[in-house]
Amino acid sequence: MHVAALAGLAVTGARDDEAAPIEEGFRARALTAAEGFLRMTREGIDHYGDLETLVVYLTVVSAGGGRALRDPDTLGRHGGADPLPEGYYRPVSRRAVAAAAGLPRETVRRKIAWLAERGMVEDAGRAGVRATHNVLALGENLAFARGLVAAFDSTCERLARLERDGAA
């Protein structure tokens, strides 16, 4: 969509009598980001069947393995093609997953059971649930991750192009 066509987009969240100020080019950036988010969401739904399962799965993986991104030593040792060490993913409680995902606990319980049946997460007893070792290589996970990264990269490139061309 051409940037000039975006000028007519409504501002959500503002009352009609008090429109929020919007900086030049923001509408184009917002639409680009929304389109990218929808592409990434569609990629996940195509692989995991529905949005709730996708959100539960990503919450478990991120909560359990996200520390690798915050630890330069771990990232340096395991940031390449090799999987994180066995047992690296920390367990996360189903209650924490429900709170982080904004979903009812019963829904989270069902989604985790479905993911566990497919070997993508494993029960950690009273500690909760964690991503299965080498989870990226299992099933459709690698195809999903590649599609997700491609959609994210494409969105970043489009946003950079808007910035560079003065439309943002």
Q: Does 112 lie in the same domain as 128?
A: yes
Mean pLDDT of 92-101: 95
Q: Does 82 lie in the same domain as 54?
A: yes
pLDDT digits (tens, 9 = 90+) for 31-51: 999 999 999 899 889 888 899
pLDDT band at 164 (very low <50, low <70, confident <90, very high): confident
Contact 94, 42 (CB under 8 A): no
Assign residue 77 the CATH number of its domain: 1.10.10.10
Q: Does 43 lie in the same domain as 78?
A: no
Number of domains composing the chain: 2
Q: Please check whether residue 145 lies inside any domain of the structure.
A: no
Q: Does 83 lie in the same domain as 26?
A: no
Q: Please check whether residue 147 lies inside any domain of the structure.
A: no
Q: Please check whether residue 23 lies inside any domain of the structure.
A: yes
User: Which pLDDT score, from 0 to 100, does residue 90 have?
Assistant: 85
Closest CA to 60 of 127, 146, 143, 144: 127
Mean pLDDT of 9-13: 49
Q: Does 35 lie in the same domain as 87?
A: no
Domain residues for 164?
A: 1-48+154-168
Q: 151 phi and psi, to 5 degrees?
A: -65, -40
pLDDT band at 56 (very low <50, low <70, confident <90, very high): very high
Closest CA to 108 of 118, 92, 97: 97
